């Protein structure tokens, strides 16, 4: 406050309170400074004393430096003050049980942050404010809530947007202050019945999975998400859209992330087989373009059932994570077919010893062991046949999910697996394994893997 107006205000106080001396007024001002822990200046304390003594101070007479405070100057009990800063987190417009509108946001003046809650008309006005905007809050009060300060925009308060958001400024503020706000770029969107899964890149070009409830539409591109919940799955950052989340789609793409930034989230290859675990889930085998064999651990029969539909097809598998022992499926796994329908590859099976063979192979080998494992999910069978075969040059593990191989070795159809009980199937499997152990087989299949070779059996004949 300018010295001239301080003197004018002192004179007005003493005029309205003729029994008060200058020393008594000075004492009241000193007490007010101490009341706020010394964080306010004497001219600000004089304003508060004048208001308590019933002296009206015209707002236009109050210098901006006093009426617009810094966050660090706030204290519980302040009323009618102004605050200016940037919105770096916000909720959507909510309603109390009584139907009263409210909206919460986080404000920073570039040095500190404070929580703000807007009510009624102020909440409706705040609903139109974008994250990153610079705003001026007028005639707000400050309260203590759950051990921290909270600015309140209530009756008589107002909010004015002073500057539209700048994404570069917002990004810098988000890097400095902890806020539940992220600038995301959706690279792939998958819609399910009960949710929508988006695979995104954050402002640091790190992969992120966003889970939306049904009915929330977000196209591929850039957007701001605020007031979300967050969790981790094997290093994958997962954001969830809650009831009070705020989402704003941006025009065009933001950022210049490399196409390779998502490589840890997605793999591509031909689905060539799967192996069931003893408990739910299993291992999915993919053959890449460079003939590299990838195996993906999946801990859900539902995802294996989805994968089974793509046997023989080229797919992109989204939602994978990298574990210590290899690829692991997240709970957001998605399959994107790259060809319209399954097609049997045109293979020329070459007669070669297992020791030196690779790729399509035709071989005569002795069966050392045989095992059938099956489960049913909603009436649909999942099964694998696992064998150990030896052609005299090498012993190789062999795998098949083929119904024709099941028919040749066990004499049953795939659909029968769900009609027979687990105990009956176990007895049949053990009996056939004993009968065929030591038998010679003619096998045609795909031999893959550099060190631990795996033979994917396409056709078999018991000799």
Q: What is the pLDDT of residues 305-358, one digit of tens each?
A: 999 999 999 999 999 998 778 899 999 999 999 977 656 567 899 999 999 999
Is 433 or 51 the better-scoring residue by pLDDT? 433
CB atoms < 10 A from the CB of 175, how many?
9
- Percent of the chain at pLDDT exceeding 70: 94
Does one domain contain both 401 and 449? yes
In a domain, 100, yes or no: yes
Q: Do 253 and 272 belong together in one domain?
A: no
- CA-atom Rg of the chain in angstroms: 35
One domain, residues 43 and 128: no
Rounded CA-CA distance 416/154 in Å is 69
> Are residue 162 and residue 89 in the same domain, yes or no?
yes
Q: Are residues 57 and 128 in the same domain?
A: no
pLDDT given at position 90: 97
| Domain end (from 126, 146, 170) | 170
Q: DSSP code of 76? A: T
> What's the pLDDT at 183?
94
Q: What angle do CA 457, 459, 463 make, to 5 degrees?
A: 110
Do the domain assignments include residue 376?
A: yes
Same domain, 282 and 234: no
Q: Is the pLDDT of residue 170 over 50?
A: yes
Q: Compute the distance between CA of residue 229 and CA of residue 12 in angstroms, rounded to an integer.
A: 54
Q: Are residues 195 and 245 in the same domain?
A: yes
Judgement on whether residues 152 and 253 belong to the same structural domain of the protein? no
Taking residues 356-378, what's their average pLDDT? 94
| Domain span at 110 | 81-170
* pLDDT above 80 (res 204): yes
Structural domains of the chain, count: 5
For residue 246, the Cα-to-chain-centroid distance in whole angstroms is 15
Mean per-residue pLDDT, 118-141: 95
What is the pLDDT averaged over residues 266-281? 94
Mean pLDDT of 152-161: 94
Boundary-marking domain end, from 137, 170, 203: 170
- With the C-alpha atoms ordered 221, 222, 228, 230, is the resulting torsion angle positive or negative? positive
Length of the chain: 463
The predicted model gives 65-93 an average pLDDT of: 86
Mean per-residue pLDDT, 381-395: 95
Asked whether residue 212 is assigned to any structural domain, the reply reads: yes
Record the tokens describing residue 425, joined without a space.
């199937």
Please list, in sequence order, all residues whose beta carbon lies within 8 angstroms of the beta carbon of residue 147, skipping any fewer than 6 positions away. none
Give the model's pLDDT for residue 6. 78
For 223-284, the DSSP string reads EEEES-EEEEETTEEEEE--TT-EEEEPSS--S---GGGGTTTEEEEEEEEEEE-SSS-EEE
Residues 381 and 324 in one domain: no
**Per-residue pLDDT for 37 more than 90?**
no
Looking at the chain, the whole-number percentage of residues with pLDDT higher than 90 is 66
Q: Give the helix ranges, DSSP H, for 273-321.
A: 301-308
**Domain end point (choices 211, 236, 257):** 257
Name the pLDDT band for 66 (thresholds 50, 70, 90).
low
Out of 23-37, 61-75, 308-322, pick the least confident.
61-75
Task: Report pLDDT for 1.
Answer: 43
Query: How far apart are alpha carbons 318 and 262 in whole angstroms?
Result: 10
Across 435-443, average pLDDT: 95
Q: Look at residue 347 in the predicted model and tell me its pLDDT.
A: 81
Dist. CA 66–CA 46, nearest whole Å: 11
Confidence bin at 273 (pLDDT 50/70/90): very high
Q: Is residue 72 domain-resident?
A: no
Q: In 316-327, which positions are buried (b, 16+ CB within 10 angstroms) versus exposed (e)?
A: ebbbbbeeeeeb
Asked whether residue 69 is assigned to any structural domain, the reply reads no
Claim to verify: residue 135 and residue 186 sit in the same structural domain: no
Which pLDDT band holds residue 64 (cuts at 50, 70, 90)? low
In a domain, 343, yes or no: no
Phi and psi, residue 183, nearest 5°? -95, 115
DSSP H/E element including 212: strand 207-212
Asked, for residue 440, whether it belongs to a domain, the answer is yes
Both 355 and 379 in one domain: the answer is yes
Mean pLDDT of the chain: 90
Which tens digits make up the pLDDT trace of 235-262?
899 999 999 999 999 876 666 788 788 8
Q: Dump pLDDT digits (tens) for 97-127.
A: 999 999 999 999 999 999 999 999 999 999 9
Q: Do 142 and 232 have their domain in common?
A: no
Residues whose CB is less than 8 angstroms from the CB of residue 326 and which lie 6 or more positions away in sequence, other chains included: 295, 296, 297
Residue 51 located in a structural domain: yes
Q: CATH no. for residue 432?
A: 2.40.50.140
d(CA 56, CA 47): 10
């Amino acid at each position: 406050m300018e010295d001239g107006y301080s003197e004018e205000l002192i004179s007005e106080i003493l005029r309205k309170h003729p029994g008060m001396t200058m020393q008594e007024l000075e004492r009241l001002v000193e007490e007010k400074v101490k009341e706020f822990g010394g964080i306010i200046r004497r001219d600000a304390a004089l304003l508060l004393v004048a208001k308590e003594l019933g002296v009206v101070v015209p707002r236009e007479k109050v210098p901006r430096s006093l009426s617009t405070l810094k966050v660090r100057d706030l204290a519980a009990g302040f009323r009618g003050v102004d605050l200016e800063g940037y919105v770096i987190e916000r909720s959507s417009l909510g309603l109390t049980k009584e139907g009263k509108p409210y909206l919460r946001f986080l404000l920073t003046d570039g040095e500190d942050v404070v929580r703000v809650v807007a009510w009624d008309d102020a909440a409706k006005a705040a609903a139109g404010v974008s994250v990153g905007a610079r705003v001026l809050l007028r005639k707000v009060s400050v309260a203590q809530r759950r051990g921290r300060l909270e600015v309140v925009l209530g009756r008589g308060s107002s909010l004015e947007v002073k500057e539209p958001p700048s994404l570069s400024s917002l990004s810098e503020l988000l890097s400095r202050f902890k806020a539940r706000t992220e600038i995301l770029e959706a690279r792939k969107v998958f819609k399910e019945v009960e949710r929508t899964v988006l695979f995104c890149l954050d402002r640091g070009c790190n992969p992120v999975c966003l889970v939306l409830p049904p009915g929330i539409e977000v196209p591929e591109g850039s957007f701001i998400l605020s007031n979300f919940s967050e969790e981790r799955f094997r290093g994958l950052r997962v954001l969830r859209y809650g009831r009070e989340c705020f989402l704003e789609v941006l025009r065009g793409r933001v950022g210049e992330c490399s196409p390779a930034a998502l490589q840890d989230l997605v793999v591509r290859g031909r689905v060539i087989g799967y192996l069931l675990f003893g408990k739910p889930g299993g291992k999915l085998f993919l053959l890449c373009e460079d003939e590299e064999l990838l195996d993906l651990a999946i801990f859900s029969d539902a995802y294996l059932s989805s994968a089974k539909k793509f046997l023989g097809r080229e797919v992109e598998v989204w939602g994978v994570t990298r574990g210590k022992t290899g690829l692991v499926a997240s709970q957001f796994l998605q399959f994107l077919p790259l060809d319209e329908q399954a097609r049997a590859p045109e293979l020329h099976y070459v007669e070669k010893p297992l020791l030196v063979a690779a790729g399509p192979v035709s071989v005569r080998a002795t069966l050392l062991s045989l095992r059938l494992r099956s489960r049913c999910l909603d009436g649909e069978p999942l099964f694998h046949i696992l064998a150990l075969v030896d052609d005299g040059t090498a012993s190789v593990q062999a795998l098949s999910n083929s119904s024709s191989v099941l028919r040749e070795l066990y004499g049953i159809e795939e659909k029968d697996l769900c009609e027979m009980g687990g105990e009956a199937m176990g007895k049949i499997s053990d009996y056939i394994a004993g009968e065929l152990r030591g038998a010679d087989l003619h096998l045609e299949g795909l031999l893959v893997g550099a060190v631990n070779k795996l033979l994917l059996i396409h056709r078999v004949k018991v000799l």
